[in-house]
Chain A
Amino acid sequence: MHKRKSIMLLSVIMTIALAGCSGGNNSAKSPATASPGTETAEALADGKIVSSPLTLTYFVEMSGSPAPGVKSLNDMAAYQETEKKTGIHIDFKHPAGGQEKNQFNLLMSSGDYPDVIQWGWNDYPGGGVGAMNNGVIIPLNDYIDKFAPNLSKLLADNPAIKKEISTDDGRIFAFPFLRSDPYLRTYFGLGVRQDWLDKLNLQMPTTIDEWHNVLTAFKEGDPNGNGKADEIPLLIRKDTMLNFSNVFLNAWGTSGRFNLKDGKVLYGPVQPEYKQFLQTMRTWYVEGLIDRDYAGTDDKQKDAKWTGELLGSSEMAVGGGIGKYTNAMKAKNPDFNLVGAPYPTLVKGDKPVLGQLEPIFNSVGAAITKNNKHVEETVKWLDYKYGEEGSMLFNFGIEGKSYEMKDGFPTYTDEIMKNPDGLSFATALGRYAVPFGGPLVQDKRYQEQNASLPQQKDALNTWMNVENSNWLPPLSFTNDESARLAAIMTDITTFRDEMFDKFVMGAEPIDNFDSFVKTIEGMGLQEALEIQQAAYERYLKR
C-alpha cells in the first residue's frame, strides 16, 4: 500500500514536471493578438485599414544608435503617424542590443513566432527560402497581388527588382528593404588623410605601386609633425576586406569570396591572383606599413588611432568613418582632412573591377509568420510604407518638423542637420524615421543629405566608380544545398581567415600557398562551387 503511495508521489512529480513544460506550449499557441471582427476594410472611408483596433506583434532589431527617449519603435514619429492613419497598433519586440542574433535564433527554435519578423533572412539556414520551406514564414505573392497596390505597382514597373526579391520558383518571402539607386548601394572604401598627402607633396594614390610610395612616405615623413615616427600608414581589417569591401584585392581582379569570371563562379582565395595579393600585404607588413596590431584592433581602438592622428589610411564607411572622424577632429585639428581614395588598380588608368556594392535587396525585410491571424491587414499595413505618403514618412519623417519641402526637395530641418543637443544626424533623425534596414524603398535624397560633407559626397562618387559587374547576385538555395554549403564554407572561411594572418604576419611562408589551395580543395570546395554555379544558372533563368 505504501509502495503505491510512493509511486503516487512519483507520478505527482512527473505530472508537475510535464505540466510545467507543456503549459508553456499551450499558452504559446493561443494567439497573442485576440481582436475579433476585423472584416475586410477596403471600404473604410477614413483610410483606416481596420474598423476596430488591431494589435500586431513585430520582432525587429533597434537600429544602432537610438535617440534618447526612443525605447521602442513606437516612440518614433513615423510609426506613431502610421498607427493614426491605419488604426493598427504594433507591439514591437526588440531583442537586447548585442544579443540580436542569439535572440533571433532562440525565437526561431521556440516556435512561438510574432506576427511579423523583420530580419536579414540570409542569417536563417537556407535564407528566406529556407524559412518558407520550413513553414516559419509564408509566401506573399497572392497577398501582394490582392492587398498591396503600392508594392505591386513598384514590382510591375521594375522587373529587375522583382527578379532580385523573388526566389528561383518565383515566390516572395518578405516586404523588402530596397536600394535601387547605385548611389545608395556603395558606402564603403578606403579613406586617406589628404592633409598628410599635401604636406608631403604627394598625389592621391591610384595604383598599388603608388600606394606603396604613399604609405612609405607616411611612415618616414612624420606627417603628424610630432617629431616621432609613430605614424601607422595603413590599418586593414581582414573580415571587412575579405568579405565585404574588397579593397586592394580588386587590383588583381579577385575577391575573398565567390565571384564571377566569364559567367563562371570562382572562389577568389584559391586563384593565383590571391597569392600576389598576399605577397603584397606581406611585404607591406614587413616594411611596417600595415599596423602590427591589425588583427587585434577593434572599432574602439580604430577610433582612437584615427582621432589620435596616428593613422594615415584605412577602410571606412562614409558615415561611420569619414563623417564621424571629420566631426570629431573639427575642433582639435582644423587641418584634418579625411577623403575617400579610389579603389587601387595595378595599371594606372584602369577601371577597378570589384568594389563594395550592396545588392538591391540584401535579404533584409519584413516577413509574415505562419502564426499571423491577420495576414490581409498586415499586408495592407506593410504596403503603406511603399506608397507616396508612407515613403516620405519613413525616409524623411514629419513635414514641418524633421523636414521641409524646399523647391520640391525634402530638406531635413536644422533639428536633424545641426541638432541643438549635439546629436548626430542618424540619432536625431531616429526620433522621426529610420530610412534603412526596414521594409521601405530608400530615397536617394536621404543619402545625399546623410553624406552632407563635401568629403563624403566626393568619397561616394569615388568609391562608386567601379565596374562591379562580376559580383554574384543574391542566390537562393534548396535546403540540402544550403546545409552542404554551410558545412563546407564554415571550415573554408575559418581556414582562409587564419591563413591570411599567418601569411601576412609571416608564420607561414607565401611559398606554401599551393598547399593552402590544396587544403581548401580538400574541404570540399568543388562541391560548393557546383552548388553556387547551379544556383547562379537558376537565377539567370528566373
Chain B
Amino acid sequence: MKLLREWSRNKYIYLMLLPVVIYYVVFLYFPMYGLQIAFKNFSPAIGIWGSEWVGFKHFVSFYESYYFWRLIRNTVMISLYELVFGFPAPIILALLLNEIRKRVFKNIVQSITYLPHFISIVVVAGMMVDFLSGDGLINQLTSLFGIPSVSFLIAPEWFRTIYVSSGIWQGIGWGSIIYLAAIAGIDPSLYEAAKTDGAGRFKQILHITVPGIMPTIIIMLILRFGTLMAGGSLEKILLLYNSTTYETADVISTFVYRRGLLQMDYGFSAAIGLFNNIMNFILLVSANTISRKINNTSLW
C-alpha cells in the first residue's frame, strides 16, 4: 500500500529515472557477466561459457610478473602526484577568483582557464610532443639562457612532472567551478560579522571561506581516493609514453591495454582490471569511513 501511494504520487519522476536505470543495467551491470573470464582461459572463438576455468592463475601470474611492483609503484605515484599537486590547484584558483572585485577581469580569467578543458586530449598530447621534443619550443626557449637541450619525452625522470603539470593546466579552470559554486553558497552575513570583528581579507578566507567549502573539498577528496589505483588517464599516458619511459610511465591500465587488446590475452587483462577495481573500491570505502569518523562528512 505504501508502495502504491509512493508510485501514484511520483510516477513521472520514476519514469524520468527509467533511462538512467536502463543505462546502468545494460552498460554497467550486464557486462559484469563477462568478468568471469578473469578466472578462465578465455578464447573468443569458444565463447565465455565454453572457455575452461583456471581459477586464480592469471592473478598469480600477474603477481609473479617481473613488472608487478613497478606497475603498482608507477600507478600509485602518478595518482599521488595528481593528488598532492593537482587536487589543491583548483581550490586555490577558486579562492583567488573569489577575491577579485573587478567583474570583467574575473570573467576573462575564468574563461581563459576553462578553455583548455575543451581541447581533445589527442590534440593536447600532440602539442606537448612538439613543444617538448629535443628541438621543440621549450628547448629553444631554454637554450637562449644557455641551458642544454633535454628530450623531455624520452627522459623517465621527467614523465610524472610533465603528466601532472599539463593535467593541472588543462583541468584547473573546470575543476574550480564546483568550489566557486560552494563559495557562492556561503552566507554573506558571516563576512559582515567577520569584518565588524576586524578580520582582514586573509583572515576571512581562512576562517570563513575555507571552512565553508570544507565539506565539498572532503567529498571531492574521497572521490579522488576511489581513483588512486587508476593511475591517471589511460589515453593520455598512451599518447605520451614510449618504451624509454616505461620506467616511470607504465601503469596498470597501459599494461592491461598492451596485454589485453594488443596481444589478445583477455583473461589476464580482465584479472588485472578486476584486481585494480577491487583495490580502488577498498580505498574508496576506507577513505569514506575515516572521513565519517573524523569529521562527519561522507558520501554515505
- Footprint of B on A, CB under 8 Å? 1-3, 5-6, 13-14, 16-17, 20-21, 101-102, 105, 108-111, 124-125, 131, 134-136, 292-293, 295-296, 301, 483, 486-487, 490-491, 494-495, 497-498, 501, 519, 522-523
Contacts and interface: CB of A to CB of B under 8 A. Distances in A.
Contacts, number: 95
A2 B153 contact: no
Interface of chain B, main secondary structure: helix
A2, A21, A134: which has the most chain B beta carbons within 10 Å?
A: A2
A245 B220 CA distance: 52
B286 interface: no
Nearest to B33: A21
B242 interface: yes
A111 B134 CA distance: 45
Nearest to A111: B44
6 contacts: A5-B7, A13-B18, A17-B26, A102-B261, A108-B44, A109-B44
A295 B151 CA distance: 10
B160 to A, nearest CB: 17
Given A2-B4, A486-B263, 19 more contacts: A1-B4, A6-B7, A13-B18, A13-B21, A102-B261, A105-B261, A105-B264, A108-B44, A125-B265, A134-B43, A295-B154, A295-B242, A295-B244, A296-B133, A296-B134, A296-B242, A487-B61, A490-B258, A498-B246
B244 A14 contact: no
B66 interface: yes
Given A491-B66, A519-B66, A486 B265 contact: yes
Nearest to A135: B45
Contacts of B45: 108, 111, 131, 134-136
B151 A296 contact: yes
Interface of B: 3-4, 7, 18, 21-22, 25-26, 30, 41, 43-47, 61, 65-67, 133-134, 151, 153-154, 242-244, 246-247, 258-259, 261-266, 268
A21 B48 CA distance: 15
Contacts of A296: 133-134, 151, 153-154, 242, 244
A-B interface, 3 closest residue pairs, ranked by CB to CB distance from nearest: A134-B45, A109-B44, A296-B154
Contacts of A301: 133
Given A13-B18, A134-B46, A494 B67 contact: yes
B244 A17 contact: no
Contacts of B61: 487
A43 to B, nearest CB: 37
A3 B5 CA distance: 11
B7 A2 contact: yes
Nearest to B153: A296
Contacts of B4: 1-2
Contacts of A523: 66
B259 A490 contact: yes
Given A13-B22, A134-B43, A494 B264 contact: no
B263 A494 contact: no
A328 B266 CA distance: 45
Nearest to B244: A295
A348 to B, nearest CB: 35
A111 B45 CA distance: 6
Contacts of B265: 125, 483, 486-487
Nearest to A137: B45
Contact of B262 (A101, A497, A522): A101
